[in-house]
Structure 1
């Protein structure tokens, strides 16, 4: 007997994207869709169901463009969330994606909320945000601004301030300097501002 796919259950496949940024106030924040006025979907991540003949990456970009008004991003696959009860409408697998962008890449009226002050989110989107934040923070513990939020050249002070925003904690200047210097190249230029000592400028290796 020839095995056919009709013998197996077919869960729906969705994509949800955690677009993270650092606000002007220095908060790590995530792009959300507002709750629907008619009492439908509550606050949630940009997402959609996968269409017939569509690749996951195409669905992600479509959802960001049509639902959040965002284009030009390059989200990466993060994790598959497959809890049986994650969607009360039926069995839905979510292939979560993540991107980290400068705040200027998002529309001025976008709903951007600090990850430390999230409202109740639809489905398991709080878990997706938490997973994305942990993933990005692990990257920022290992290398200087790996997602390129800071335009080079930059001072160590500005770099440390960015890392503090992403990590959500204060960093000791000397310890941070020792950890980051092996991954930086001095430009030979100095930044002079105010009456303090000139600060050396660096770029990533």
Structure 2
């Protein structure tokens, strides 16, 4: 086979190229808690960051993501999707590293984290190395956009649920208080009311909904 050369007579190996990494923001909302992210502790530096890894030779991006989640966070069974490519040549102090960021949003109960992983509110996950703060910010913006137009887009609440529980989830995701009446009017057309009721303190039982 003839070796490939471009119009300038150069081979692929003649061009400098970045290292390629994958980094994943795994987001969730613990019961009664704030929007949170999975962090892993680096074995060398001891700092906390998003789970990620360099892509190995001939490895698919999706396989590298699952490998990093398994080996660094002790998490399996997730299905992250590509979020964004972070390609600023100066973003990583280790050198020219292109990061293909991924996002997964899962119920907190489905996360069984390893010893070197933790779940922390996004407001506390700051000062991370290798541009991970930017990746987390981008992931949070995407998740919040999802929740502004649809009820519990990622199935964080077990069904059926009350309207107040749904509103509490959306408040945790959006990081802001929502007017109950306005929220109800926006969500009811997008939900199906069941015949079941749930007691929520004094007053008449609340209707239970499904997506």
TM-score (normalised: structure 1): 0.92
TM-score (normalised: structure 2): 0.90
Alignment of 1:155 onto 2:162: yes
In 1, the alpha carbon distance for the partners of 2:180 and 2:201 equals: 20
Q: 1:57 aligns with which of 37, 59, 62?
A: 62
Conservation of the 8 A alpha-carbon contact between 1:43 and 1:120: no
Q: 1:126 aligns with which of 127, 133, 148?
A: 133
In 2, the alpha carbon distance for the partners of 1:32 and 1:142 equals: 28
Quote the offset at 1:59 in angstroms: 0.5
Conservation of the 8 A alpha-carbon contact between 1:43 and 1:119: no
Quote the offset at 1:128 in angstroms: 0.5
184-193 or 143-152, which deviates more:
184-193
In 1, the alpha carbon distance for the partners of 2:78 and 2:168 equals: 24
Quote the offset at 1:90 in angstroms: 1.8
Map residues 17-96 of structure 1 onto 2, 5 A cutoff.
17-36=24-43, 38=44, 40=45, 42-96=47-101
1:134-176 Cα distance to aligned partner (Å, 9 max, x none): 0001101110000000111111011001111111111000110
Alignment of 1:141 onto 2:156: no
Structure 2: tracts of 5 or more residues without a match: none
SS of corresponding position for 1:146: coil
What RMSD over aligned residues (CA atoms) do the two structures have, in Å?
Answer: 1.6
Q: 1:85 to 1:193 in 2, by over 3 A?
A: closer
Alignment of 1:12 onto 2:15: no
Quote the offset at 1:24 in angstroms: 3.3
Q: 1:190 to 1:175 in 2, by over 3 A?
A: same
In 2, the alpha carbon distance for the partners of 1:119 and 1:85 equals: 19
Quote the offset at 1:10 in angstroms: 1.6
Partner in structure 2 of residue 2 of structure 1: 5
Q: Of the two, which has the highest radius of gyration?
A: 2
In 1, the alpha carbon distance for the partners of 2:156 and 2:33 equals: 12
Quote the offset at 1:41 in angstroms: 5.7
Partner in structure 2 of residue 105 of structure 1: 110
81-90 or 10-19, which deviates more:
81-90
Structure 1: tracts of 5 or more residues without a match: none
Name the count of aligned residue pairs.
202
SS of corresponding position for 1:33: strand
